[in-house]
Amino acid sequence: MKRGFTMLEIMLAIMILAIMTIVSMWTFRTIVRNWGLATEMADDLQRVDYAINQVVSALRSAYFPLDGKATEADGFMLLDGNPDNDPDESDTICWTKLGQAIVGRNSRFGAAPHRVMLYVHKEDDRKERGVSSYQRNKLGKKAPPEEFGLVADVMGEDKFKPDDYDEDEDDLTEYYTLGPNVQGFNCRVLDKDQPFQDERAHWVDTWDTSNCIPRRVQLTFWMKPADDAKEPYPIVRVVEIPLWDISQNPVTVTSEDEAEERRRKSGRKGGSSGTSGQKGGGNGGGGNAPGGNGGAPGGQGGGAGPAGGPGGAPGGGPAGGGMPPPGGMP
């Protein structure tokens, strides 16, 4: 007699199969979800890494006048809007730079010094972030960008404006969204008066010297997590600005007009010396004077002229070699 499965055994087998199926599906969904989050995070990191590298390059390309005549438009400014390094708050930094970093090779700003203002723009943050009256006026020309995240406002400098600039028709401000997933930004600088304490960097949150550039800048970018349940994570960069020493210890360089005037004065002095030399050379001649009565010997040869010019060669006539008068006795 053949014996089959009981109802209890079949139900138990179905229950075990259902549990295994549920666990397998949950595991598969978790793997797929984590794979998607990792891929999204990798893409975000790649984009923000490029944006941060652009910011680092822009800071290293900081502009400063070599004649030592710096103004507020040439220095570095830091508005400390995030003193506690909060992931949801943002500092604002502003500096003048050269080159194509941030703006790109086809930008109208790339060929001349231009001002960059870097901050995190939030949806509920509509206030102006200008640091001086002339910058606030420019920022008021356009509405805030529609995209949010790490934003760079690029402004043409007043002192580099063309003569035919029309303020009503032209706009010297453009906006660049660098990192949409950056939700916080903090900047610290190396203290100017006491950069190191106990052989460690002395970072401060303020920069009151607006006409020069800090030696080093520490940038912290707070990234939005791919999973809303996770905490924001920071990306930190430390940048040393090459022109910091020139800006903090400026050397006054003579202007081109003053240098040209000095060259002219030096040329006039050199010409005067040459004239004196020619006079000295003229006094050295005269050796061919005719002899006196009765066949007196001729005048002494001129000898060597006074030093100082090419004309100071020895006199032309030999000593005592004057020509006797016609008919005179030898």
Cα–Cα dist 161/169, whole Å: 14
- pLDDT, residue 123, reads 67
Are 153 and 116 a contacting pair, CB within 8 Å? Answer: yes
Give, rounded to a whole angstrom, the gap between the first and last alpha carbons of the chain: 177
SS3 of 70-84: CCCCCCCEEECCCCC
* Segment holding 14, helix H or strand E: helix 7-60
Cα–Cα dist 196/109, whole Å: 36
Bridge partner residues of 177 (DSSP): 151
Q: How many CB atoms lie within 10 A of CB 180?
A: 17
The total number of residues written for the chain in this structure: 330
3-class secondary-structure state, position 110 = coil
Cα–Cα dist 76/61, whole Å: 12
* Closest residue by Cα to residue 206 from 219, 221, 188: 188
Cα–Cα dist 321/305, whole Å: 19
| Domain boundaries defined on the chain | 43-248
Are 94 and 115 a contacting pair, CB within 8 Å? Answer: yes
**Average pLDDT for runs of 10 along the chain of length 330:** 78 94 94 88 85 93 76 80 89 90 84 88 57 40 62 74 54 81 93 88 86 91 85 92 84 60 59 46 42 41 41 41 44
Q: Which residues contact 301 (CB under 8 A, 6 or more apart)?
A: 287, 314, 315, 316, 317, 318, 319, 321
Strands 182-190 and 216-223: antiparallel
- pLDDT, residue 246, reads 83
Does residue 54 come out as left (phi exceeding 0), alpha (psi in the -120 to 50 range) or beta? alpha
Are 139 and 173 a contacting pair, CB within 8 Å? Answer: yes
Cα–Cα dist 57/242, whole Å: 11
- Using CA atoms, how far residue 325 sits from 106, 228, 328, in Å, is 91, 123, 6
Are 134 and 173 a contacting pair, CB within 8 Å? Answer: no
3-class secondary-structure state, position 234 = strand
Largest CA distance in the chain: 179
Cα–Cα dist 110/30, whole Å: 48
* Closest residue by Cα to residue 50 from 102, 114, 109: 102
- pLDDT, residue 64, reads 82
- pLDDT, residue 112, reads 83
Structure tokens at 43: 């893409």
Strands 233-240 and 216-223: antiparallel
